[in-house]
Structure 1
Amino acid sequence: MERQVIGVLVSGSGSNLQALLDAGLPVSAVAANLEGVPALERAARAGVAHAAFPLDAHVDRAARDLAMADWLVAQGVTLVVCAGYMHLLTPAFLDRFPGRVVNVHPALLPSFPGAHAVADALAAGVAQTGATVHLVDAGVDTGPVIRQEPVPVLPGDTPETLHARIRAVEQRLLPQVVKELVGA
């Protein structure tokens, strides 16, 4: 089997990226949709190729996604991991990596898709939420689930306290799933 090479998409601090790096996974490239995010600094410290693809530097989202996909392919990437990437990917990107884009989401999908999953779970008054690793398709968190793990909602939880516990699960679950996907 051909060795998989991982490209990671990020938008923020890069804590899930760090979990992948700490697990010794073959991350060869990190792409962000914003300039100057801490995740790019993490990539630089790890000696991993990194680049920013801000939307305003391209004609539209499809053009940006195509440029990002071209860059990842040039870095040898065969599997893309969205680790806190906060933009939907267009078909221009997904078509370059069919069935090879995974995402980690802070809820037990299909419940609470989208950018406000933790706050939505609290507002719904559920007893548990969790973390999901799933394949990415053209919908909002609608791709097939690979693995999930529940996280209890505790009395007095705030979005911050609940998200911190979910993030701890994500940082363990995501590297486990990615390891299996790349055969490491």
Structure 2
Amino acid sequence: MSVALIQQAVDAYEDPLIGENLPASTLQGVLSAYPVVWLQFLRHLGCIYCKGLVIDIRDFLARWTDRAPFLVFVHPNTLEEGRRFFEVHYPGAAHIADPALRLYRLFGVRRASFLSEVHPRNLLRWLTLLKRGFTNEKPTADPWVLHATFLFREGNLIWSYYARRLSDVPTWRRLL
């Protein structure tokens, strides 16, 4: 999806957000509240890849030396499921519950396919995450959505990354 199309959709989106620790109640308000905002779309919160991704982002931002972006997670689960998840994995994190997947569609977040599920890199990442102590749980939200990353500066989209497989992770160092 093009940057221009996403920006137009963001500017037109007026539905109130359902979430916690957000600086505003609208999408445009959230994306404009800080100089740089990192919007991170997640898979369902029981997913082993999702858990690993959240911890990796948390650890990455802890090492950020100055001017870290304001991070907002978007997940396909309910607000209560999100609350329980983030209490364990990233206390205090800002998150938006989007069980209807409206924001996922707005941003063109990809969906997994059978071929993307059985990719060898997924198995390698899964084994790594198991060794780190993560588990996979039964999905309580759409198990087919993938994750995606969007970086906004002063409310304008400046960088995006769309996962192609369950195990895809962008090179976070590019954001420094």
- Assess same fold via TM > 0.5: no
| Larger fraction in strand | 1
TM (normalized to structure 1)?
0.37
* Higher RCO, 1 vs 2 (CA within 8 Å, ≥6 residues apart): 2
TM (normalized to structure 2)?
0.39
